[in-house]
Amino acid sequence: MCGLIAVSGTVSSAYEAFFGLMNLQHRGQDGGGILTVDSKRPHGFQLVKGSGLVDNVFSERAFKNLRGEAAIGHCRYATIGRNDPNLLQPFLDYHAGLGLAHNGNIVNFYQLREKLFMDKESKMPWLESDSELILRLLSRGLNNRTLSAENIFDALGTVMNTLVGSYSCVCLTEHGDIFGFRDPNGIRPLVLGSKIGEDGETIHAIASETVVLSFLEYTNLSEIEPGEAVFVDSKGNVTRKVIRRDSYSPCMFEWVYFARVESEFGDNSVYNARFNLGLLLAKEIRKQGIEADVVIPVPETSRIAATALAEALNLPCRELLIKNRYVQRTFILDDQQSRQEAIRRKLYPIAAELKGKRCLIVDDSIVRGNTAKQIVRLVRQSGASEVTLVSSCPPIANPCYYGIDFPSSGELIASNRTNDEIAQSLGVDRVVFQTMEGLKEALGQKSLCTGCLTGKYPTDVESGKQFEMQRTRDREAPLKKSSC
């Protein structure tokens, strides 16, 4: 899972990309990068990227080098290649005159890498990143043809027929054109917007979430469809084409956890989806006859569902788990040790308000159980008389191969466990999960990717085991020295 933005039609493209990435920081904390192009300068690409939060990567001095009327930006959440600074994006192919940033995971990456490396005719180097593989395949498909919409769409046809997995990408050409494309199942989000600049010219942008474009005052927002590519040339002309569409299967986790609450996908806002998840959970709690004194959200993403649940049950909703705002999102940290240490520093209870209370603790989801165990321990130590853990997402019992970092079922607390066994493992009196029917009703989508819940995926995942093994090795391997 990563954050993407592309901007065309303004000399402030780098600044727009920067502020866009600031609003996408929740999608990746490993590092960030911005690539610009100034066709008036020789070797017009300029690239700045580095590890850490976006605000720390880009200095005032960096922006003096990031000139041009088009830019793409990326903030990274590592799922392939570990948290290696050498793999920060955007990637750049000088020979082809193309830069690319990618959000998602290519399930058959390791098979393709081996095949293309061994094929002497392909002249493909050994690659560590599935994102760089997409760029190489696109460059190869263009085969030195001009970087026109028609030629790029033709090359993308070959790319989409080769790749298996999830991918939303933004690209920048040496001529100042931008384009974006989405995988044939639409697993990862991508949106397009436009606005009129101070000079009266139209500025276009492509980003991972609507909140980014709204913040930057873009209007006419529209989703890029599954399998669709959108090309915006340096003069502002827009060309759209659906290249290959297999299904409409957006990731349910975007609404449940990952996206900003201000964003909107599939004609349903994230806020509305999370509120409805809470209302439907209240029905489930009533059905089970569970009584409580207080509803407590786990900051931040469960707050809306907890509020709705409390209102529906006529219970007080209290912020009794206080978050240290300077600790990163623990779920997207790179390894177990980092996550557990961050959890310990992240939350602290108001003990006096918990003593003797029957508590409904609401979380957006329960994945590994790290956060839940720590919270339950703190709440128990504060004297709570009863603890019920409530998840606005159904049990996550299967790997995700599409960009959420749980590629192994062995690390998932709901894998091969009953609700009672999960409750015992977490140290709670009981656990209540959202139902599959409730999830679909709350999100209001025709179809969804629910592979991590059901084990049924929108693409072939035969290569998934190889991905799982490689991801485990990546985590255990020592970090390579950075050349950045």
> How far apart, in whole angstroms, are the C-alpha atoms of residue 116 and residue 470?
18
Q: Is 2 a catalytic residue?
A: yes
B/e letters for 161-179, b = 16+ CB within 10 Å, e = fewer, are: ebbbbbbbbbbbbbebbbb
Considering 2, 251, 359, 452, which one is annotated as catalytic? 2
457 alpha-carbon distance from chain centroid: 18
N- to C-terminal Cα separation, the chain = 22
Pinpoint the alpha helices (H) of 143-254: 149-162, 210-215, 253
Q: Six-digit token pair at 90? A: 């955007």
Residues near 132 by Cβ (< 8 Å), separated by ≥ 6? 91
Query: Which residue type sits at 446?
Result: K
Q: Which helix (H) or strand (E) holds 466?
A: helix 464-476
Residues near 49 by Cβ (< 8 Å), separated by ≥ 6? 31, 32, 33, 34, 57, 74, 88, 89, 90, 484
> How far apart, in whole angstroms, are the C-alpha atoms of residue 88 and residue 50?
7
DSSP, residue by residue, 25-54 = GGG--SEEEEEEE-TTSTT-EEEEEEES-H
* CA angle 261–266–270, rounded 5-degree value: 15
Please confirm whether the linkage preceding 297 is cis (ω < 30° from 0): no
> How far apart, in whole angstroms, are the C-alpha atoms of residue 48 and residue 276?
41
> How far apart, in whole angstroms, are the C-alpha atoms of residue 259 and residue 253?
8
What is the three-class DSSP state of 216?
A: coil
Could you list the active site residues? 2
